[in-house]
Structure 1
């Protein structure tokens, strides 16, 4: 089991996030902290594998907690920042502090589940690596992709370029694109359009988010990174 510490100043939010974690196979919440000082103490005592870290805490900000966790401590968990902070300095600070990911509030269960399952895959891959890793093993862990990677069998480079241009244009204006909208713009079938969009997600060039409506399955919305 991957042991998780939830850090959030809001008791109700911490409870909700703990509930999300408990629903995901392979994860367990081993503690909850509502201040920065309590978070640091809990890490030393509980030694979690992963910390879900809020930025806005009553005694010290989350970036200070992150720096404290990285400053010559015996426990050194991975950190997923979960916060409403959107300013670039905070995002940059989280990256420089070694956070694995940065999830902006509010978010739903699926958003957190995707991040945690990605972490679980990386956690397992690290455990399976030999003593001396090959370059391709390291590239896979870091999400590095081959530059100008060709589309998989069944997808053409020409059509891939067209879909990429449309997705870039939509994303440049702050928007996103569904497979149905992509199909209409490119005159592809919806199934084919989604294959290209998912290819960009798989190669790290785009991201996908779920939009929930009234009934039925949530819509997948794509954005160029």
Structure 2
């Protein structure tokens, strides 16, 4: 069983999220914490595999909890951030802190279930890889793809998301960015479809967008992999 710690200041929300976790096969909630201090203590004492971490906590913000879990404890759980915070500074902070993904409240059960199932796949892959043998590029791509592209919402295919993200990475690797039109050409998609995937990557924090102003008309949106 994958052991989960639920961290949320709202008792009812924590109960709902715990119920969601219990509905997904292979997961169990080992504890619930309502403050940052309690969350850190629970991680040290119980060593969960996964933490569902809120950002808005009564004693400290979730980003500081995430940093402490990474630097000041010998336990090293994976973290899925679940919060109403949707500002880019917070999103960037969670990415730099090593969070697996970021869910914005409120959300439906299916959104959390998809992330838990993705984590179960990642957890299983890491468990199956031999500890004394080098990982192949295919395994590495699979693991990092799981962390960075996010589960596409309904209407977007995972396989196509991987293609678009690869095109985005290649453009960024050469020091540049690209437009939806350029991405569409490289990935053999329509411009509308390419932009949907690019905006999805922006929403989950794995891509950044800037505006290029030209002559007349709307500014062009340019995409690159997030730092």
Q: Provide TM-score, normalisation by structure 1.
A: 0.68
Instruction: Measure the CA separation in 1 of the matches of 2:83 and 2:121.
Output: 23
1:31 corresponding residue in structure 2: 31
Q: Kindly name which structure, 1 or 2, has the bigger radius of gyration based on alpha carbons.
A: 1
Separation (CA, whole Å) in 1 of partners of 2:40 and 2:54: 13
1:75 matched to 2:81? The reply is no
Question: Could you tell me how far 1:171 is from its partner in structure 2?
Answer: 7.4
CA distance in 2, matches of 1:7, 1:112: 14
Tell me the matched-pair count: 168
Please give the secondary structure, in 2, of the residue aligned with 1:28.
strand
Equivalents in 2 of 1:62, 1:127: separation in Å?
Answer: 28
- DSSP 3-state at the match of 1:69: helix
1:164 maps to which residue?
190
Pick closer, same or farther for the CA change 1:134–1:106 going to 2, 3 Å. Answer: same
Q: How big is the shift at 1:169?
A: 5.2
Matched position secondary structure for 2:9: coil
Matched, 1:85 2:85: yes
Distance 1:126 1:48 in 2: 16
Displacement of 1:136 in angstroms is: 1.2
Aligned to 1:98: 98
Relative to the length of structure 2, the TM-score reads 0.68
Q: 1:122 to 1:171 in 2, by over 3 A?
A: closer
In structure 2, runs of 5+ residues without a counterpart are: 147-161, 168-183, 201-205, 208-224
**Cα distance, 1:73 vs. partner?**
1.2
Q: How many angstroms does 1:170 deviate by?
A: 6.2
How far is 1:164 from its partner? 3.2
2:98 match: secondary structure: coil
Q: Aligned partners of 1:125, 1:65: CA distance in 2, in Å?
A: 27
Verify: 1:45 aligned to 2:22, yes or no.
no
Structure 1 unaligned spans of 5+: 149-156, 177-203, 206-224
